Each structure stands twice: as C-alpha cells, then as structure tokens.
Structure 1
Amino acid sequence: MLKAKQYIAIGLVGLLMVVLYSLDIKGLVKQENEGEQQAEMQSTATAGGANAAALKAEDVTSVSKQMISASLAADIEKLEKQAKAADGTKKTELQQQLATKWDDVNQPAAAAFYYEEVAKANPNYANWLKTADRYSEGYQNYADSTVTVGLVQKAIEAYNKALEFDKNSLDAQTGLGVAYVSGTQNPMQGIQLLLGVVKEDPKNQKANMNLGLFSMKSGQFQKAVERFKTVLEVKPTPEAWFYLGTSYENLGQKPEAVLAYTKAKELAADPNLTTFVDRKIKELSN
C-alpha cells in the first residue's frame, strides 16, 4: 500500500501537470479551438445541477475501490453492508468510519459522500465544511469529467450549507469561489468571492494561490507573480514556487524562472518533477 508521502508526491506532480496543460500560454499546450471548448464547458456546467442530484456514492466508490488493495476494498465493502443495515447513531458511526477509511487512502471523492451523510445527521459548520472540502479535492483529482461536474455542484451545495452556519467563514467563501470558477458558468462570481476573501485577509494562502492560477490562465502573468509571492511569504510550497517559475518564464524573466523552478524541485523532492524541472532549466539556460 502507498504511504502518505507517496500519495502527496503523486498528487503534487499530477496537480502541476493538470494545471500546466490547461493553460493557453507560451511554451505549453495550445488550445486550437477555444470557442468550441468553451461552449462544451458551458454546456457541461449547465447540466451540473442535474448531475449532482443523480450522482451516487456507488458511482465513485466503485472506481475508488480499483485504486486500493483488494483486502482494504473488502474491509470497506463489509462496512458498507453494516452501514446499510444500521440506523440512527450506529449508522452515522459507520458512515464516519467509512469516510475516515477513504481519507486514509487518499480518495477524497469517495470520502465526501460519507462525510455528507454525517453532516446530514449532525448538521453543523465543521461537518459541512469538511464535506465541501472533500468534494472540492475530489473534483480536482477525479479523471471522469462527467462525474467531475456533479462533484463540483455537490461542493458548491456543501459550502453553501457551511455558510448557513457561519456566513463570515473565509474558508467556505474561498472553497465556494474556487468551485464557481472551476466548474460553472459564473466564474466572475467566484473571482469576486476570492477577491472579497483577500480583502479581509490579504495573506490568505488558498485564495491567493487560486487567484494566481486564474491570472495565469488569463495570461496576466505579472498579477500571478504577485499572488504567488504572497503565498510564499505565508508558506513556501513546491506548487507556489513552480507556478511562480512558470509565470516568470512567460514574462521572459529567465533567471527568476530558473531560481523558482529550482526551489520547487528542492522542496518537492520528487523524481518526476525533478526530471521535468531539469528539462525546463536546460531550455531556459540555452
């Protein structure tokens, strides 16, 4: 079974690559028919509400079980049967156990459904925020785009539930903003939420990180640089250094890009990212 640090490393490289190849920027993959792709995204987002209502835990857990060992999958299936047969407090306890087990093997989308059941049984801010965060992690890492749309909508619903308990929660506002930008036809609504968060908390790491990513995607690389610098002031992460390097590269600031990429490589200590960054540094040094 993979250890926690291995999951983190794999997730990091996957996240970096997904964002890189979704950007229409110099030196990266270009989108040849942007209009058609945008129309497709909007059509998919329109169906999001229906997809969220139709999406069942089994749709996700059946796939997640293929990602873990057979013995662990058998343990989870045993718990699932017990949970279906139980009621009241016992049922909620078993659903909490299932959520935790899915968390332990880094399957947030599967965990989210059980956290949602716990939140319904014991509705409060903490339970709904945890549910929303797991759905958010789930849609950012799930491969099936038809399922992703439903996960985005479920994240939005859960963040709104959390905000019913604490309307001033910056964590819930940030998660909601990211979800709106990532998977709906209302990206500006999400941007406004994130800008509101950084107005209240200028050093908010998650909000600045996502505003930086959205600035990259829109080609506003100088704005992205400032966002990532703010993130790094709070907590130096390989992701922030990597995206700072990408932004500098696209501004033509090669020495700064090399330095940032090098920092990302040192912090990540991941062979896949190291190979990619070494290739980037060689290109920039020529």
Structure 2
Amino acid sequence: MKRSQILIVVAAIVLVVGLFFLPKIVVNNEDQDSVAGTEAGAALPEGHSEDDGHDHGSAEAGAAESAHRTATPEQMMALTTARAKYNKASDEQARSLLAVELGEAYSNAAKYDSAGYYYEVAAKTRGGEKSFRRAGDAYYEAFTFAATQERAGEMGAKARSMYEQVLKNNPSDHDAKTNVAMTYIATSNPMQGITMLREVLASAPNNQKALFNLGILSIQSNQYDKAVEHFRKLVAVNPEHVEGTFYLAVALAETEQTEEAKALFNKVKGMSNDPALNTSVDEYLARLQ
C-alpha cells in the first residue's frame, strides 16, 4: 500500500472521529523518532462582536469552524442570554459565576476558544484546580481543532498556562500532563512533548491517552513498528478501543502483517456503527486484497 494512500485514509478518520491535533513539526530523539503531520479539523472562534473587547477569532477560522459544527438556534439563544447577563453584572463574584455559565454556553456550541476565555476569567477570580482544568480543557479543544499553526500555538499556550495551575496542585494528573505534552508537539520544542508522554507512561504504563498519542505520532513519522508496539499495548489494556484497534490495523498493514491487519479491520466493523469509519475500513480491506 502506498504511503499517500495511508495518509489519506488516516486523515479522513481523524476528521471523522475528531481525535486530536496532528502536528506539522518534524522532531528527532534518541530513538530516531520524528513527528510530521498535518492539521486536521477546525478552529472554533465565535466571530461575534463582544462588549468585553475579547477577540474570539478571525473570519478564516470562523469559516473552518462552520465545517466542524454549526450552533443550533437553541444554543445561540443560550449564548445570547448568558452573554447579556454577564455584561450586565457589575459585582466581581457575580461576574465570575456568570463567566462559568457563559463558558458553558460557548462550550455547548463548540466555540471552545471563547469557552476557554470565560472559564479562565472565572478561574482567575475563584481559583481552584477544577476551575483551571475546565479552562485548560476548553483551550485544549480549541488547540485540537486549530486551522492554522499560529492558532494552534496560541491555543496551546493558553491550555498549558491553565494546566500548569492544575499540575502545581496535582503533579500526578496524567490527563492534564498528556494534554500539555501534545501542545508542545506544535511548538519549536516538540521533544518536550515526547518526553512528557514517556514520563506519563513511566509512571502509568497503561495510560490509554499517552499510548494512543505516541502511537499516532509514530504513524505520522512513518515509525510503523513503534506504532504497532504502542497500539498493541493500548488494545491489550482496552480491547474495546475502536480507534486504537483501527490504527493498530493501519500500522500492521504498513509493516506487511497483512492477515492480522485484515482481521483487525474486520473487527473494527463489528465495533463501530459509524458509516464513515466503516467505509474507510472497507477501502483499506480492498487495498489489502
């Protein structure tokens, strides 16, 4: 199977399941790992006029967001109501509570950069690990769907600043650390991200998120033998991990372990009702004949 075919199918599945941001950078480490990828998904700015003067994004990013998800009339009404209440509040404590409400409205409408902004407002006023995690998660979602390298860098930096507050109180929070690691992949220091993912696995060898991310990065850098290793471990930990099973099959196909790859692709069809995913599996199976 040609590498171009592999990348086309992988990119298609990433778009379907919204897995995570695929980095553009090439890095090297002591194991000769390199990371190279493409951006997938969309930025999530609101593109509306705000009384608070916060810039929620560009027209280009707004167009990309439309391809990902369009807010329903009910969600837009909730946004309008929450924003009006926030703008009218004058007491700082009241505004912090309403900032959470407004952040939730933006998050429900998949406007994650705006959600992160208001969650951050609340976190800086109220403090607490939960508040900073909520802001970090929203910014990370915006990073995940960033339409440009610049936007990814901006949202990644925002996510890191929020997660750093979480990790100060809870250094063993592997989920936060894994997200921080992935934001570093899109910076001039991607090896810091690779190192952090390995640190997570050193502490928690069965961490599914770290295994998955390292597997994806291995595929993107054509290190298919390493991808097989990571995804085998992932599906051993969680046999029902659909994406992990799919990417294990991809990596096996690329290492010419055709029969096992076919068996796993067929298994994926039995695990998922997603028509787009199953169509991609069928395309892979046809190429393996």
Alignment TM-score > 0.5, same fold: yes
Matched, 1:202 2:202: no
Cα separation, 1, equivalents of 2:262 and 2:134: 37
Aligned to 2:162: 158
Which residue number corresponds to residue 57 of structure 2?
A: 59
Contact 2:21/2:145 (<8 A) preserved? no
Q: 1:250 to 1:212 in 2, by over 3 A?
A: same
CA distance in 2, matches of 1:162, 1:130: 10
Structure 1 unaligned residues grouped into runs of 5+: 1-9, 25-36, 42-54
Contact 1:99 1:110 in 2 (8 A): yes
Question: Is 2:207 the counterpart of 1:212?
Answer: no
SS of 1:133's partner is helix
Aligned partner of 1:188 in structure 2 is 191
Displacement of 1:225 after TM fit?
1.2
Q: 1:67 is paired with a residue of what secondary structure?
A: coil
Alpha carbons of 1:163 and 1:17: their partners in 2 closer, same or farther (altered >3 Å)? closer
Give the drift of 1:194. 0.9
Q: CA separation of 1:69/1:144 partners in 2, compared to 1, >3 Å: closer, same or farther?
A: farther
Please identify, of 59-68 and 119-128, the stretch whose mean Cα deviation from structure 2 is larger: 59-68
| Relative contact order higher in (CA < 8 Å, ≥ 6 apart) | 2
> How many residue pairs get matched?
247
- Paired residues for 1:120-135 under 5 Å: 120-135=124-139
Q: 1:246 aligns with which of 236, 246, 250?
A: 250
Query: Relative to structure 1, is the Cα distance of residues 18 and 178 closer, same or farther in structure 2, using a 3 angstrom cutoff?
Result: closer
CA contact (8 A) 1:156 1:176 kept: yes
In structure 1, the partner of 2:31 is none
Matches of residues 1-286 of structure 1 in structure 2 within 5 Å?
A: 13-15=16-18, 56=54, 58-59=56-57, 63=62, 67-86=70-89, 87-181=91-185, 183-235=186-238, 236-285=240-289
| Maintained 8 Å contact 2:75/2:109 | no
Q: Letter of the aligned partner of 1:222 in structure 2?
A: D
CA deviations on 1:204-229 (whole Å, 9 max, x unpaired) are 11111111111212222122112112
**Greater fraction of residues in helix:** 1
Residue deviations 1:62-82, cap 9 Å, x none? 946982123421330231122
Give the TM-score of the pair, scaled to structure 2.
0.75
Kept in 2, the 8 Å contact 1:224–1:247? The answer is yes
Task: Give every structure 1 segment of 4 or more consecutive aligned residues whose post-TM-superposition deviation is greater than 4 Å.
Answer: 16-19, 21-24
* Counterpart AA for 1:13: V
RMSD: 3.2
**TM-score, normalised to structure 1's length?**
0.75
2:216–2:227 Cα contact (<8 Å) kept:
yes
- Listed one character per residue, the Cα deviations across residues 76-131 of structure 1 (whole Å, up to 9, x for unaligned) are 02311221221322212211112222333444333222221221122222221222
Question: Cα–Cα, structure 1 residues 259 and 56, in superposed 2: closer, same or farther, change >3 Å?
Answer: farther
Matches of 1:148 and 1:14, distance apart in 2 = 19
Which region of structure 1 is more displaced relative to structure 2, 269-278 or 129-138? 129-138
Which whole-Å deviations, capped at 9, do the CAs of 1:170-201 have from their partners, x for residues lacking one? 222211111111x1011111111111110110
Query: What is the identity percentage for the equivalent residue pairs of Structure 1 and Structure 2?
Result: 28
| Contact 1:12–1:239 under 8 Å retained in 2 | no
My pick for the range that moved more, 268-277 or 81-90, is 81-90
